[in-house]
């Protein structure tokens, strides 16, 4: 590796230009945070209005930072729904914070890829440590393996892929053809991302079982057990149950411990979607929300809800990392010679 310093290409900013621009952007960010409460929560535009104000073709040359910021104020801000507004009450709580912004800045400057330990040892080991802290704070087993994804939708897809591999049906190698239909079970109150994950995995809508909820919007155990029995009798292959801790519509918490009993008896993978309410368990008085979750095979919880973390940050945990490796690992064959240019 060469030791001489390499200057940035002229297409980038000089160090002096970058420092000046960074100061201007920092002032804009600080001003936005200071005054966001005075802005309307909802975007004040009609469909297509922002697009119509933007050039149809890319610019032939760059523009000064002053123009960036002017365009940001004039063109973009009117079309922003302000999720960091203190009056934003839609979807779920988002608590992006000043420390989070600073962390995002440092991360963007480092611009590393953590796909392997070697590509960024510090990133890999920091992720492991912080996720261990997070699990411990939630009252979950510290030895669980954790990984960061962008959203709970991705985390659930990855977890159900591992669950499909755990069936032993050889689907990774042979595909679904000739296999018994797989069935997955979730509350009628569960998030649509679970259905979408099942669709991506080839389960098919006809094999997604939306289980009835009780008067507290929780999955009914009797309905779950009846659905599993029926599917087995008809030649289907139940493979996973998704329990929810904090449904989107009502923040209901499924009876995870009782569902875990069913999963252990029926030999089904239990995935817990705790994206919405799981972080509440950091407070001792809300630890009950994760009762039974230590028995799950996988669990997702979102720091970008409640924990002053910028979107997107989803934490996926499992007590079966070997199942995830079996589902996803691809090791290049060593029989072919390595290209000389590598």
Taking the C-alpha atoms of 83, 86, 89 and 91 in order, what is their torsion angle to the nearest 10 degrees? 30
Among 243, 251, 313, CA closest to 94: 313
In angstroms, the Cα distances linking 186 to 285, 303, 310 are 27, 23, 29
Distance of CA 234 to CAs 77, 176, 342, Å?
55, 18, 53
Domain ranges of the chain: 24-49+65-90, 118-328
4-20: pLDDT as tens digits: 455 555 568 899 999 99
Question: CB 142: neighbour CB atoms within 10 A?
Answer: 12
Q: Is 185 helix (H, G, I), strand (E, B) or coil?
A: strand
Those residues of the chain that have pLDDT short of 70 are: 1-11, 333-342
What pLDDT sits at residue 23? 97
Q: What is the pLDDT of residue 333?
A: 67
Task: Identify the pLDDT of residue 306.
Answer: 86
pLDDT for 5: 54
114: CB partners within 8 A, 6+ apart: 120, 123, 124, 127
User: How far is residue 262's CA from residue 264's CA, in Å, rounded to a whole number?
Assistant: 6
Rounded Cα gap, residues 257 and 270, in angstroms: 11
Q: What is the pLDDT of residues 45-102, one digit of tens each?
A: 999 999 999 999 998 888 899 999 999 999 999 999 999 899 998 887 777 899 999 9
What pLDDT shows up at residue 1?
Answer: 41
CATH level 3 topology of 118-328: 3.40.640
Distances (CA, A) of 102 to 99, 109, 181, 308: 5, 11, 48, 12
Structure tokens at 262: 């069913």
Location of structure tokens 């920091």: 126
Tokens of 148: 């960061």
For the chain, the helix, strand and coil percentages under 3-state DSSP, each to the nearest 5: 45, 10, 45
Q: Say which residue the tokens 């009797």 belong to.
A: 222
Helices (runs of H) and strands (runs of E) counted in the chain: 11, 7
pTM comes to: 0.90
Q: Which CATH superfamily is domain 24-49+65-90 in?
A: dopa decarboxylase, N-terminal domain (1.20.1340.10)
């Amino acid at each position: 590796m060469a030791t001489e310093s390499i200057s940035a290409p002229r297409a980038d900013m000089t160090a002096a230009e970058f420092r000046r621009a960074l100061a201007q952007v920092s002032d804009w960010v600080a001003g936005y945070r200071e005054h966001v409460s005075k802005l309307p929560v909802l975007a004040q535009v009609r469909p297509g209005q922002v697009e119509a104000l933007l050039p149809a073709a890319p610019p032939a040359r760059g523009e000064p930072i002053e123009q960036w910021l002017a365009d940001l104020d004039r063109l973009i801000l009117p079309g922003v729904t302000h999720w960091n507004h203190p009056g934003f009450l839609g979807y779920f709580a988002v608590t992006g914070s000043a420390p989070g912004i600073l962390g995002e800045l440092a991360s963007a400057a480092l611009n590393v890829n953590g796909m392997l330990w070697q590509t960024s040892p510090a990133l890999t080991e920091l992720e492991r440590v912080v996720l261990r802290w997070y699990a411990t704070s939630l009252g979950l087993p510290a030895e669980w393996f954790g990984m960061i994804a962008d959203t709970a939708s991705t985390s659930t897809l990855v977890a159900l892929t591992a669950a499909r591999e755990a069936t032993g049906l050889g689907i990774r190698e042979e595909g679904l053809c000739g296999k018994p239909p797989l069935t997955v079970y979730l509350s009628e109150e569960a998030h649509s991302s679970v259905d979408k994950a099942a669709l991506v995995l080839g389960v098919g809508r006809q094999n997604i079982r939306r289980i009835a909820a009780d008067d507290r919007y929780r999955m009914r155990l009797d309905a779950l057990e009846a659905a599993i029995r029926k599917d087995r009798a008809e030649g289907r292959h139940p493979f996973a149950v998704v329990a929810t801790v904090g449904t989107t519509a009502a923040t209901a918490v499924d009876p995870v411990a009782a569902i875990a009993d069913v999963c252990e008896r029926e030999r089904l993978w239990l995935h817990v979607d705790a994206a919405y309410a799981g972080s509440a368990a950091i407070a001792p008085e809300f630890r009950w929300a994760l009762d039974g979750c230590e028995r799950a095979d996988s669990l997702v919880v979102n720091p970008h809800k409640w924990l002053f973390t910028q979107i997107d940050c989803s934490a996926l945990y499992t007590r079966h990392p070997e199942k995830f490796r079996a589902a996803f690992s691809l090791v290049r064959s060593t029989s072919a010679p390595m290209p000389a240019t590598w």
